[in-house]
Amino acid sequence: MPQNTRYGIIGCGMMGQEHVKNIALLEGTEIAAVFEPDAQMRAAASRLAPDATFATSLSELLARADLDCLVIASPNYRHAEQIAQIADSRPLPLLVEKPLLTDPDDLPRLTRIAKTYPAPIWVAMEYRYMPPIAALLEAAPAITGGVRMLTIREHRFPFLEKVGNWNRFNSQTGGTFVEKCCHFFDLMRLVIGHPPVRVMASAAQSVNHLDECHQGHTPDIIDNGYVIVDFKGGARAMLELCMFAEGARFQEVISAIGDQGKVEAFVPGPTRFWPTDLGPAPTPLIEISPRHPKGPELRETPVDPRLLQAGDHNGSTFYQHQKFLDLVRGHLPAPAVTFGDGVWAVRMGLAAQQSALTGQAVSL
Ligand SMILES: NC(=O)c1ccc[n+]([C@@H]2O[C@H](COP(=O)([O-])OP(=O)(O)OC[C@H]3O[C@@H](n4cnc5c(N)ncnc54)[C@H](O)[C@@H]3O)[C@@H](O)[C@H]2O)c1
């Protein structure tokens, strides 16, 4: 019998638990150790991974001799320091949650670390693996004839409550365009296939969290905005974000258009937020709309209900872990989402934050 692949989980709150549930669906895997400082989250994690050992520090977790790979799902502002500590003491294959970093001052050091890190580093970008978005990624080149315009519209619920309210402040998240929209900047680069050259944004915190106070401070995070990105080669992309719009049927609508036609993906939000009295949650869709001959075609891209149960991201965490496991076992030559992809997504997010603040376009 081959040995189980043994994971160490760093941070086991909402997303860490989603990782644990999805890893559990993969044959021959085991959650061996967890470092989670919050007692309530630790208790929830131990119900999901009863055989795991709970370390009291990251150093203690890294000192274990029997780990094969690591997953970082701690708050954003911890990622850079934890990557550095791991690189120093136990550089195992690593899946690190987005965003890779929040403070641009950490970038030179992290880049040096990534160059000499002796194992693969995969940056978690679950959106790439949602079935309707994967279908759009596959269909876009042939249907569009080359994407000239990409629009990503996200209309969703406000940020959820997190341990210690870390997600309420730009200083700990990198800002909304870094924290959550790095996914969309990653998709823009992936679909368009060229580097971004300029970012323009208009955004504000208009509605959410304004009546909250955490240790004497009111949250300062953007809840709505537009970002326009110009790409080398002439394509352009736009993000429309609204975080007080969870009444919508679909959470994200993504349209990719070229001179041959258009592809759209319709992505529902987390199934657990869909009111049961409204019947079944919406099925994800893509619509293929060639120009000649005209004839838009709607296709369902359903998600396995077992995967919907294991998280809030349309099954994508499972598909990502399938590939990460292939990488750890040596069946995949390199990470599908590289350190460089993670850095680009953060740079675009930081540029959008800066543009929204200054009213000026930011060149990259
Ligand atoms: N890819 C996605 O779709 C997606 C979705 C949600 C969250 N995330 C990312 O996952 C990470 C965790 O977010 P979350 O929603 O689970 O937040 P969370 O607050 O629910 O969980 C974070 C956990 O980390 C723990 N923690 C705090 N300091 C730590 C430290 N120094 N070391 C280890 N653990 C520590 C907290 O106690 C908490 O339980 C964030 O980086 C977030 O951006 C990604």
Nearest atom (ligand 1) to Cα of 125? 1
Ligand 1 contact, 107 CB (< 6 A): no
Q: How far is the CA of 21 from the centre of ligand 1 (A)?
A: 15
For the stretch 11-40, pLDDT in tens is 999 999 999 999 999 999 999 999 999 999
The DSSP H or E segment spanning 107 is: helix 107-116
Q: What is the pLDDT of residues 326-337, one digit of tens each?
A: 999 999 999 999
119 and 141 in a single domain? The answer is: no
In a domain, 298, yes or no: yes
Residue at 324 is within a domain: no
349 lines ligand 1 (CB under 6 A): no
Task: Tell me the per-residue pLDDT of 38-78, one tens digit each, with 9 for 90 and over.
Answer: 999 999 999 999 999 999 999 999 999 999 999 999 999 99
Pick from 14, 71, 172 the residue to mutate for probing ligand 1's pocket: most ligand atoms within 8 Å of its CB: 14
Is the shortest distance between the CB of 74 and ligand 1 below 6 Å?
yes
Distance of CA 17 from the midpoint of ligand 1 (Å):
9
Does residue 289 sit within a domain? yes
For residue 180, give the DSSP letter: T
Task: Report the number of distinct structural domains present in the chain.
Answer: 2
Nearest protein CA to atom 11 of ligand 1, as residue = 73
Mark which of 126, 160, 187 sits at the end of a domain: 126
Crossing angle of the two packed helices 131-144 and 316-328, in degrees rounded to 10: 90
Please tell me whether residues 117 and 138 are part of one structural domain.
no
Is the distance from the beta carbon of residue 44 to the nearest atom of ligand 1 less than 6 Å? Answer: no
pLDDT mean across residues, the chain: 97
**Ligand 1, closest atom to CA 164?**
19
Last residue of a domain, one of 92, 109, 126: 126
- Same domain for 147 and 31: no
318 domain residue, yes or no: no
Atom of ligand 1 nearest to the CA of 36: 34
* pLDDT per position as a tens digit, 302-361: 999 999 999 999 999 999 999 999 999 999 999 999 999 999 999 999 999 999 999 999
In short, whether 19's Cβ falls inside 6 Å of ligand 1 is no
CB atoms within 10 A of CB 215: 7
pLDDT tens-digit map of 174-209: 999 999 999 999 999 999 999 999 999 999 999 999
* 98 ligand 1 Cβ < 6 A: yes
**Which residues, 6+ apart, have CB-to-CB distance to 105 below 8 Å?**
none
**What pLDDT, on a 0 to 100 scale, did the predictor assign at position 2?**
74
CB-ligand 1 contact for 38 (6 Å cutoff): yes
pLDDT digits (tens, 9 = 90+) for 197-248: 999 999 999 999 999 999 999 999 999 999 999 999 999 999 999 999 999 9
Pocket test for ligand 1, best of 126, 163, 272 (most atoms within 8 A of CB): 163
pLDDT at 1: 65
Element (H, E) at 40: helix 39-48
Q: Is residue 267 within 6 Å of ligand 1 at its C-beta?
A: no
Q: How far is CA 342 from CA 64, 79, 109, 163, 339, in A?
A: 28, 12, 15, 24, 5
Closest alpha carbon to 177 in 148, 154, 196 = 154
Q: For tokens 């977790």, name the residue.
A: 61
89 and 132 inside one domain: no
Tell me the residue range of the domain where 41 lies. Answer: 5-126
N-terminal to C-terminal alpha carbon distance within the chain:
51
Domain boundary residue among 126, 141, 169? Answer: 126
Six token digits for residue 77? 């502002």
DSSP string, 48-97: H-TT-EEESSHHHHHT-TT--EEEE-S-GGGHHHHHHHHHHH----EEEE
Return the best residue to mutate from 21, 97, 159, 184 for the ligand 1 pocket (most ligand atoms within 8 A of CB). Answer: 97
- What's the residue count for the chain? 364
